[in-house]
Structure 1
Amino acid sequence: MNWKSFLTGVSVGIISGFLASEWVSQKGKVSPEKALSHAKAKFKERGPISGSWIQMTTERFEKNNITYDVYKGGVSRTVDDTLEQYEFVSDAKTGSIIEVYPL
């Protein structure tokens, strides 16, 4: 066996291992972009929105003695020339909104 073949095999193995670990860590989670898209769609049911944001990392959130991995985000809209802002908490596994807070 020559060194080129050996190093190529080791490189492919390392890269495959890294990609597999990334896939496993993300498996079962909704992307933050999808969670934001879902939240925006729900807020748009009550009128147009003017801005939105979402955190790209998950964090722990407890509600009713149940712990969730969540994304936190926000939406703003103008109603009768008044700016309304809301923060939402979205389940990272399903993308559904768990809680909404007016700011």
Structure 2
Amino acid sequence: MAGGGNTTQERIARIEQTISELVGVNGDVQSDVQSPGSSLMGRLEAIENKQTELSELLDNLSRDMEQLAQNSSDELGVLKRAMNGGNSMDVLKKVPEPKAFS
């Protein structure tokens, strides 16, 4: 039985060493920093926060692109109506300033 306990301790030591290497913590400075598990949790939380931030940015970008497409469509309609109602010089005078770029 004593040998089994030693094997378990060795396994635990190897697991701790592997985790320490994964998070960049070596045995010399481990006492001065967070435990490997805490460090991993901190990194996971930072990644989750960044994911949330990026998701919000993508949602905003999507809304902006939809608005740009709608404004462009509206402006194209104005341009088509203006072209159907006069010559090209008159069209240039009638076209309003683009909303998409204001």
Same fold (TM over 0.5): no
> Which has the higher relative contact order, 1 or 2, with Cα contacts under 8 A spaced 6 or more apart?
1
**Going by fraction, where is strand more abundant, 1 or 2?**
1
TM-score, normalised to structure 1's length? 0.39
TM-score by length of 2: 0.39
Higher helix share: 2
